[in-house]
Structure 1
């Protein structure tokens, strides 16, 4: 039972779990004294016969705050595999009436979470995916990209809005609302209007909208250099059929001798200078 616990918990174990497995306090003290186990914090140990991984670090950081603690923010995002970047600081949320001592390597937040927004994943309490997405998206640069990726694979916009409205007043709430509004407004037509604005601001001329090529209508076309610009909104606005049809259409345009540049809502809002540079390079190629 002890070996199973350590394997399933990334080598991390609490006093309560160890005692359920049949160990006494003397057994725990002996393991620490002989170097077999490492004391991470009060009541939390790590079996030092294995690597102290990022999973072990996050688990130990959360468990250091007791049974009601929850991994949140970027720690929860990484645990859910929403991002590949492991946070240096483990964000932990505890109820408002808890007054634990702050632990090194952690960021403590005190608030009362709706039970429906806390789930168990791999034997660790973490915020559910919708709440995790809207919180993690405002914790680091490129949050819109994280949200867009989550909308493609993990969650829908309605669930994100519900989690946001259910947790108003939390840290980062205003910034999350801005991202949600951008996702809501980020349709293909909005992306097209933004691209027009960028092209005009850069002084780029010679393009036509809704240009017919090879039986299709291109969003933007430069007939001279045979260059087409296509825009995409936020990921949730497209489905599997759109994906397939877009590829068939794109192949037909390429076979007709046209070069195609595709820009997402994220490209247009976060990297406008790069968009213009690529358009100018393609026109001059």
Structure 2
């Protein structure tokens, strides 16, 4: 039973778990003295006959803060499979009344989590997916992309809002609110405002907003060069009907002799210099 437990839990075990498996305190100490087990922190051990994986590192970090500790932020995002690389340090959320010393490689955040915001995955307490997405998105430079991918595949915007509102006042809460607002129905209009700001900051001239072309109004137009710029919100808003309507619109504009450039909210927030470079390149092309 003990070997099965160690295999299923990345080679990490606590003293409480070892005793529940039938080992006495002395038996645990003998394993430590012999080098078979390594003490990670007081009461948390790692078996020396296997590699210390990223999963073992995160599990040991969380368990070192007690049974009510919960992996959160980017640590939870990695555990849920939302990110490719495990973070350093490991973020752990503990109850407000916890009294643990700081540990190297761990960032502890003290707050009481609602039971709705905690799940167990592979024997580890982690923040539930909606709260994980909301918190992890503001820990990364490309957090908007992380949230957008999650909205396409895993969660709904309403779930993210509920998790956010249950946890107002936490670290990163204002930034999370801005991302959620941008991800809502106003994402396209927000993208238009971002594009206008980029054009002004880059000192482009000769452009107009909501310019009529081919029976439609394009978001940004350079009438002299016949360049139309269309902006989109986040990818999760797109469905088959919207996709078809956008392509019909784009074809009508192109058939009117205009070059069409399309950018998303993520392009404008994550890669603004690339957006400016592509617009500048289009303006330099002879017509």
TM-based fold match above 0.5: yes
**Paired residue secondary structure (1:141):** coil
Deviations 1:224-257 (A, max 9, x none): 8775533210233223554576578879999999
Give the root-mean-square deviation of aligned CA atoms. 3.0
1:81-230 alignment runs, 5 A limit = 81-184=81-184, 186-199=186-199, 202-205=203-206, 209=211, 211-212=213-214, 228-230=228-230
Aligned positions, number: 283
| 124-133 or 234-243, larger mean C-alpha shift | 234-243
**1:17 counterpart residue number:** 17
**Paired residue secondary structure (1:91):** strand
Question: For the structure 1 residues 3 and 282, does the alpha-carbon distance in structure 2 shift closer, same or farther, using more than 3 Å as the test?
Answer: farther
8 Å Cα contact 1:92/1:109 also seen in 2: yes
**Paired residue secondary structure (2:13):** strand
Cα distance in 1, alignment partners of residues 76 and 140 from structure 2? 14
2:283 pairs with 1:283: yes
Cα distance in 1, alignment partners of residues 104 and 120 from structure 2? 24
8 Å Cα contact 2:138/2:172 also seen in 1: yes
**Paired residue secondary structure (1:151):** helix
When the two structures are superposed, what TM-score results if normalisation uses the length of structure 2?
0.84
Cα distance in 1, alignment partners of residues 60 and 197 from structure 2? 50
Deviations 1:26-68 (A, max 9, x none): 3322222222211111111111111111110000000001111
8 Å Cα contact 1:156/1:236 also seen in 2: no
Cα distance in 1, alignment partners of residues 68 and 196 from structure 2? 51
State the shift of 1:268 in Å: 1.8
Q: Which runs of 5+ in 2 are unaligned?
A: none
| 225-234 or 67-76, larger mean C-alpha shift | 225-234
8 Å Cα contact 1:31/1:37 also seen in 2: yes
**1:233 counterpart residue number:** 233
Question: For the structure 1 residues 192 and 138, does the alpha-carbon distance in structure 2 shift closer, same or farther, using more than 3 Å as the test?
Answer: closer
**1:36 counterpart residue number:** 36
| 89-98 or 254-263, larger mean C-alpha shift | 254-263
8 Å Cα contact 1:32/1:38 also seen in 2: yes
Q: Which runs of 5+ in 1 are unaligned?
A: none
Cα distance in 2, alignment partners of residues 172 and 206 from structure 1? 37
**Paired residue secondary structure (1:100):** coil
**Paired residue secondary structure (1:46):** strand
Question: For the structure 1 residues 254 and 54, does the alpha-carbon distance in structure 2 shift closer, same or farther, using more than 3 Å as the test?
Answer: farther
State the shift of 1:145 in Å: 2.4
State the shift of 1:267 in Å: 1.9
8 Å Cα contact 1:186/1:265 also seen in 2: no
Cα distance in 2, alignment partners of residues 195 and 140 from structure 1? 22
State the shift of 1:137 in Å: 2.0
Cα distance in 1, alignment partners of residues 243 and 121 from structure 2? 32
Cα distance in 1, alignment partners of residues 244 and 51 from structure 2? 44
Cα distance in 2, alignment partners of residues 13 and 23 from structure 1? 12
| 68-77 or 177-186, larger mean C-alpha shift | 177-186
Cα distance in 2, alignment partners of residues 262 and 241 from structure 1? 18
